[in-house]
Each structure stands twice: as C-alpha cells, then as structure tokens.
Chain A
C-alpha cells in the first residue's frame, strides 16, 4: 500500500481531473504544475532539515551539543532561522550592478529544481521521464557556474570577484572528471535514462562494478557543489564568503539554502547513479522504494557532512592539480578499462 502511495495519488488526481471533463492537454499541464510544486516543497523541507542536520552533525564531530534550546532536540531552531532570515532587511549597496545583483539569488534555485524534475525518487516516481536524463543533468549542472559568477561579479567587491573567479575555475575544471566518470556508467548501462540506469543496477549496484568512477564522481560532485574541503568559493577565512559577501537578508538566505539544495541534488544523483536509486538492497521490499531512496540519499549526505567536518579546506593550486593531473587521467583510464571489459567479456 505504501509502495505506490505517491503514484496512486497522481493517478487519483488525474482521474479526478478527467472526470470533470477537462481536456487531456490541460490535465497533463495541471499535473506537471502540481509535480513541480511538490518538488519545490520537497526541496525546501529538505533544505530546512539539512541546515539543522548540519548543525547537529558538526556539533557531534566537535564534541558539542548543537542547538538544543528551542523545542524538542532544538528542532524549533529551524523555524527560528527561517524567521530571522525573512525578517531581516536586504540591503542594496549603492555600488552594485543592480539588475544582476538582484537576479542572481532568484536564479540560483533554478538548476537544482530543473535537475530534480527528472530524477526518479521511487518506482515510477520521476516527474518527467526523460530519455536523456543523465545528459540533461550534466548540462543543467553547468549553468550553476554562471549564477555564482553573476553574484560575484555584480557585487563589485574584490573578494566577491575573487570568489566568482574561483567558482568559475573550479566548476569548469571539475565538470570534466565528472563527465568522464559518468561515461563508464553509460557504457555499462547502455542508457542515458535515469530510470533505465536504476533498472540496470538490479543485479549489482554500479558502486561495485564501477568503483573508480564512483570515487571520481564523488570527489568531482563535492567540488561542483562547493562543499568542504572544496569550498574555496566561499573560503570564509580568506575571502569572507566570496560571491555572497555583499548579500544580506533574503538575498543571502537564498544562496545559503541553495547550497543545501545543491548538496541534496548531489546526494540524489550519487544515489541514482551508483547506489541503485530506489532499489531495495537484500530484497527488503517491505520498505517502500521511495523510503529506500530517502534513506540512501541521507546516508550520502551524512558522509559528505562527515568529510566537511574532518578535512581542512585545500589550496587552490592543489585543487587544480587534483582535477587535471589526477582525476582526469584516472577517469580516462576507467573509460578505457570499462570499454575493454565490455568488449571482451560483454557484461
């Protein structure tokens, strides 16, 4: 019953709309709007939870307690944070490039939302079942760079500009190993459809058949999402939050929350591509597929947070060397080996 709860809800809504004599086109448009709203709510709820989770996890790693004053286990802290961010004034400095400065925080949520529209979050639970899903993900993820650069450039502040430059350099560099690592996945599964990739992992998750690709992808995706130890774009101690220095109030809140939205997207893509997506391990199908998906996503997020509070931030030249001299050759070797294996063994 719980397995198909969301699919059933969608079908119920569709039948309801058809029964009041709406044309099929209007019904489909309406359903898509509903799906997008659901995804937006899903992202916002998760992002709010992640802010709290990050505080608690960081506290654990530093032998602190973390927020515990507001509500049970400090859970009301989430709402206090949001209320604070909404109620604060958004200061518009006089020297900024106004149009771009105001546009950047609005656009920052677009890429994560666009990616989540095609990811299957349970059996048959992709808002749009796109044939080119994986390729689409790579294309949209690249757009993020432009938005961060917009924020950095329009702020008209030296630190912000340095942050923007770092963002562009880092994201462009790490997109290459990320893409090359995904080629191994595509070769093995023979499809770009994210549902197809999940289906292809029924016998073995890709983390076991493509361990090197997973390793490269995970590092590159962390760098793409600007997570520590690759958070040079912000680098509080050197360039005081980089592109976000001049933002305040809701403007800052959007960037802050978008960072967690990107973390969520990164975890969701890692789960879909390498950890079997919504497939149940050990045949434990008594837990519904969408719940398995959430569990895996949160496990990945926990690992990423664990890394953040364990490793120090790496230096920019080390960062570039890691991408170009280490990850790219490894990724190409991985494609080569995968191709050979596919040709000779025919996996």
Chain B
C-alpha cells in the first residue's frame, strides 16, 4: 500500500514536471523542472530496489546533465528570457508522430511476455553489478569509454579557436 502511494506521488511529480519542461516559456524554469523529473525517476528506481541506478540518475543527470544545460542557459542572450523556450504549434505533424510512437511502444509492450524473475533483488546490488560491468562486459564498457573520449576530443577540436594564418600574404 505504502509503495503504491509512493509510486502515485512520484508518477504525478514526474509527469507533471515533464509536462512543465515542454510547456514553460522560460527556459530556466524548464531546466529546474527537468531536474525535478530526474529526481522523480531516481525515486522510482528506489521503489524498484535499484539503488545504484537511482544514485547514478542523480549523479549523472540531476548533477551533471542539468549543469551542462545550465551552462548553455548562461551563455544565452538574456534579452527575451521569458520566451526563450521556444514552442511551436505544428500540431498536424506532432500529433501523428506522438501517437505513432506511443502505439508502437504499446504494441511492443503488449506482445512481449513479461516473466518476473522469481529471485529477490540482492540487498547489495553493487557487488553484483561490478563483476558484470568490469569482467563479463569489460570490452563494451571500455569501448563506450573510448567513444566518449573521442567525442569529447572532437568537440574540443570543433570549438578550438581558429588561428588567422592567411594574413601573411
């Protein structure tokens, strides 16, 4: 019962703030609502006994991704911040796309046969995660790390100051 109430509260919080992220006109308020979304997701992870994922959610999304968005906001021109979260009214395109995605997701979910694992969730899930991540799947894990490093280096290269070398002539 308590779990159900907690889920309802979290779900309302999650969906409500997610809706605000897209409808609010002020992009700064939208970012704060986004952080609330991340926290609600972390709460749902905790309800599902996935403590590690919940903390990752807070660390990476609420603490990392949102800060990056904040960086973006601070470099935005502040002339018209009240209407900075630009909304458009292309409902004709948006509605079919949204419904199509929802339909595909619903059909896939309905056709899948969900068999809940009969094993209880381990108390200390990180002890079980570590061997999987750093032993069984170490190559995909490292490949992802290298990919991220390459992406970061590429981004640095793109924003590097262009030296004016054509002036010599």
Contacts and interface: CB of A to CB of B under 8 A. Distances in A.
A302 interface: no
A172 B67 contact: yes
Contacts of A164: 74
A106 interface: no
Nearest to A156: B78
A82 interface: no
A343 to B, nearest CB: 14
Contacts of A135: 52, 55, 59
Contacts of A136: 55
Interface stretch (B27-35, B92-100, B153-161): B27-35
B37 interface: no
B29 to A, nearest CB: 7
A131 B32 CA distance: 29
Contacts of A96: none
Interface in A121-175: 130-132, 135-136, 138-140, 142-143, 145-146, 149-150, 153-154, 161, 164-165, 168, 172, 175
Contacts of B51: 130-132
A162 to B, nearest CB: 10
Contacts, number: 63
Given A25-B2, A165-B74, A139 B63 contact: yes
B55 A168 contact: no
Contacts of B124: 131
A168 B52 contact: no
A26 to B, nearest CB: 10
Contacts of B126: 131-132, 192
Contact of A139 (B58, B71, B74): B58
Contact of A142 (B26, B29, B63): B63
B29 A100 contact: yes
A99 interface: yes
Judged by DSSP, the binding face of A is helix
A199 to B, nearest CB: 15
A146 B55 contact: no
Contact of A146 (B2, B52, B67): B67
Interface in B118-135: 123-124, 126
B16 interface: no
Interface in B5-60: 26, 28-29, 32, 35, 51-52, 55-56, 58-59
A97 B28 CA distance: 10
Contact of A143 (B2, B28, B29, B63): B63
Contacts of A175: 63
Nearest to A136: B55
Given A100-B29, A135-B55, A142 B64 contact: yes
A135 B26 CA distance: 33
Contact of B59 (A25, A100, A142): A142
A136 B58 CA distance: 9
B52 A132 contact: yes
User: Looking at A139, A145, A165, which has the most chain B CB atoms within 10 Å of its CB?
Assistant: A139
A97 B32 CA distance: 13
A165 B64 CA distance: 15
Nearest to A135: B55
B159 to A, nearest CB: 16
A145 to B, nearest CB: 6
Nearest to B57: A139
Nearest to B2: A25
Contacts of B56: 139
A143 B58 contact: yes
A164 B71 CA distance: 10
A126 B143 CA distance: 39
A140 B71 contact: no
B58 A149 contact: no
User: Looking at B29, B67, B123, which has the most chain A CB atoms within 10 Å of its CB?
Assistant: B67
Interface of A: 25, 97, 99-100, 130-132, 135-136, 138-140, 142-143, 145-146, 149-150, 153-154, 161, 164-165, 168, 172, 175, 192
Given A142-B63, A172-B67, 17 more contacts: A97-B26, A97-B28, A99-B29, A100-B32, A130-B51, A132-B55, A132-B126, A139-B56, A140-B58, A142-B64, A143-B63, A146-B35, A146-B62, A154-B28, A168-B74, A175-B63, A192-B126
Interface of B: 2, 26, 28-29, 32, 35, 51-52, 55-56, 58-59, 62-64, 66-67, 70-71, 73-74, 123-124, 126
20 contacts: A25-B2, A100-B28, A100-B32, A131-B123, A132-B126, A135-B52, A136-B55, A140-B58, A142-B58, A142-B63, A142-B64, A146-B67, A153-B28, A153-B73, A153-B74, A164-B74, A168-B70, A168-B71, A168-B74, A172-B67
